[in-house]
Amino acid sequence: MLSVLEVKRKLPKEFIEKLYENFTPLTVDKILSGMSGERSTTLRVNTLKSNIHEIMSILKENGIKFDRVSWYNDALIIKDISEKQLQKLEIYNEGYIYLQSLSSMIPPLVLNPIEGEKVLDLTAAPGSKTTQMAAMMKNTGYILANELDELRCERLRYNIEKQGANIVEVLNGRGETIGKKYENFFDKVLLDAPCSGEGRFLGTDAKTYRGWSERTVSELSKLQRKLFKSAYQALKPGGYLVYSTCTLNREENENIIEWALDNSNEMKIKTETINLNIKNIVEPISENIEVKKAIKIIPSRETEGFFIVKLKKLS
């Protein structure tokens, strides 16, 4: 574990400056503390193949300690063993569990897909949220999981097959074009957008932050707008869209939603309140009361930093 001062010295200077622009010094200290060392190993039970009680029994038999998660019945925080050790267990290799960060589990819970619905996962690899949604839907309905990168697409297919998520069709293509192909088709859309990944930074691991730059943030925010338009176009009137990122800055989060709400000639949407009792939430950086309905999670020992907003497409 590093001290807050050590984390501050390791991370990009411009990133630290941006944190102080957007958050109070106390919140910046909390964020940096959440980036000071390895995060807990967390998993989701794949309810298509097992259940929480069976998995807890197996973990106890193997002498593995865990904590429950108050806001998600099917999630566990594993104590004192690594992901690599968990990957040796049969329950992992048979797809009974999925190693996934707690924050990553939240967007599907907010979207809340149900049996029989048609759902789009616009940028889906490696499939954490895709397979979670298939389990929530009890493998009844249809999910289109799109991914641009071919190698990541293969990983997506592998995870879908391993988890037994047989309502998922995988598409290898540009997310920006899907809105035109599937106009007003989906009941619900998840846009977990490509982002600068600030919520996943660790001071102990240079590869988590090495690729970050203000230019990258700017370029990604342009892509996110294009993907948002496509997601909106693919969604039925009256349907729900969840936009999420694993980053902390305003440009890729609040600014995108402000832009979408302001662009009412092209997109008629409203934000929805999110009712989940999650720790480490700070208020979104916006004067817009609609944007304040989003949730912003700061990094901690148990959670990555994340931004999540739920929107309804108006008729």
- Per residue in 158-176, pLDDT (tens digit) is 999 999 999 999 999 999 9
Contact 230, 178 (CB under 8 A): yes
What CA–CA distance (Å, rounded) separates 188 from 232? 10
* Full 3-state SS string of 52-65: HHHHHHHHHHCCCE
Q: Looking at residue 287, what is its pLDDT?
A: 95
Which two tokens mark 105? 């589990």
Amino acid at 178: I
The pLDDT confidence band at residue 9, using thresholds 50, 70 and 90, is very high
56 — phi, psi (to 5°)? -60, -40
The pLDDT confidence band at residue 227, using thresholds 50, 70 and 90, is very high
Residue 276 has pLDDT above 90, yes or no: yes
Contact 193, 143 (CB under 8 A): no
Residue 275, SS3 per DSSP: coil
Q: Looking at residue 80, what is its pLDDT?
A: 85
Residue 29 has pLDDT above 90, yes or no: yes
Active-site residue among 220, 242, 246, 248? Answer: 246
- Domains along the sequence of the chain with CATH: 4-39+102-313 (3.40.50.150), 40-100 (3.30.70.1170)
Q: Looking at residue 4, what is its pLDDT?
A: 95
What CA–CA distance (Å, rounded) separates 306 from 285? 13
Q: Position of tokens 């193997």? A: 62
> Cis link prior to 107 (omega < 30° from 0)?
no
In the DSSP assignment, the letter for residue 43 is E
Q: For the chain, what is the mean pLDDT?
A: 97
What CA–CA distance (Å, rounded) separates 145 from 158? 13
Distances (CA, A) of 67 to 64, 201, 279: 10, 24, 15
261 — phi, psi (to 5°)? -70, -35
Q: Looking at residue 7, what is its pLDDT?
A: 97
Average pLDDT over residues 92-110: 98
Residue 315 has pLDDT above 90, yes or no: no
Within 13 A of 145's CA, how many CA atoms are on the CB side? Answer: 28
Q: Is the pTM of this model over 0.95?
A: yes
Residue 299 has pLDDT above 90, yes or no: yes
Per the annotation, the verdict on 153 as an active-site residue is no
Which two tokens mark 49? 């193949």
Residue 72, SS3 per DSSP: strand
For 144, the enclosing helix (H) or strand (E) is: strand 142-147
